[in-house]
Amino acid sequence: MPRFRLDIEYDGSLFAGWQHQADQPSVQQAIEQAIEKFCGEAVRLRAAGRTDAGVHATAQVAHVDLAKAWPDDKVRDAVNAHLQAAGAHVVILKATVVSDDFDARFSATGRHYLYRILNRRAPSALEKGKVWWVPKRLDADAMHEAAKILLGRHDFTTFRSTQCQANSPVRTLERLDVSRQGDMIEVRASARSFLHNQVRSMVGSLKRVGDGSWSVGDLKAALEARDRAACGQVAPPDGLFLIGVDYPDTLTIQG
């Protein structure tokens, strides 16, 4: 039974998140239904990250086992045809046969997120739902300097959703960069894994540094408090994108 890696792009605005929901549309369900229409198999996908409602992806990764060794391009094109027919804002960028020990979630060695803040007085006519609009001027340099406080291995309880199911709040944050390109502020975060709502929680707290309501010391105190109540505003899902997942070279295309 061949295993296929699926590289996926989606607009999360119309979904209740990646994972199956009892009475709301999910990205996972949309793809599984498209696969069943293509090959007649009821399947269950496993993804690298279970993105929340409203969160987008340019490089989500999932895997699925199919009974037949379909050509890679056939899987991609057929599943996309059914997704488009259903009006789902989801695209399979690539389908690749991989080794049986490839697991989209557990084999991942790194995950990369981008958060976009539109920082100008006027809202966006073209990117609504794809950015967090903040009309008050933010100091991106101050946000970047403050972000260094969060780098490394820490107990991130403050920046963890109360619904987070991870066994431990300790994570190692490898990258947290803030930069400005014109009216757009980009926050890039990388780690082996993240806690539920961690990126959005960190961005919301960094925004408080950017607007002057918090100092670097305030952010450090929030981290050290290990208390969810010490977190700043949780940034909305609109501006968050899963933009990359890393895997060992030994778990790539099956030859």
Distance CA(61)–CA(93), nearest Å, equals: 10
Q: Which of these is catalytic: 7, 11, 23, 52?
A: 52
β-bridge pairing 240-246 and 56-65: parallel
CATH class of 110-243: alpha beta
Distance CA(145)–CA(143), nearest Å, equals: 6
Q: Looking at residue 15, what is its pLDDT? A: 97
DSSP letter string, 83-134: HHHTT-SEEEEEEEEE-TT--TTTT--EEEEEEEEE-SSS--SS-TTTSEE-
Q: Does residue 36 contact residue 27 with C-beta atoms inside 8 Å?
A: no
pTM score: 0.95
- Write out pLDDT tens, residues 196-227: 999 999 999 999 999 999 999 999 999 999 99
Q: According to CATH, where is 3.30.70.580 located in the chain?
A: 3-107
Q: Looking at residue 250, what is its pLDDT? A: 58
State the amino acid at position 63 in one-letter form.
Answer: H
Q: How many CB atoms lie within 10 A of CB 167?
A: 6
213 Cβ contact list (under 8 Å, min separation 6): none
Q: Angle at Cα 239 formed by Cα 236 and Cα 242, nearest 5°?
A: 115
Residues composing the chain: 255
Q: Looking at residue 199, what is its pLDDT? A: 98
CATH class of 3-107: alpha beta
Q: Looking at residue 138, what is its pLDDT? A: 98
Residues of the chain with pLDDT under 50: 254-255
Catalytic annotation on 52? Answer: yes
Question: Which one-letter DSSP state was computed for residue 233?
Answer: P
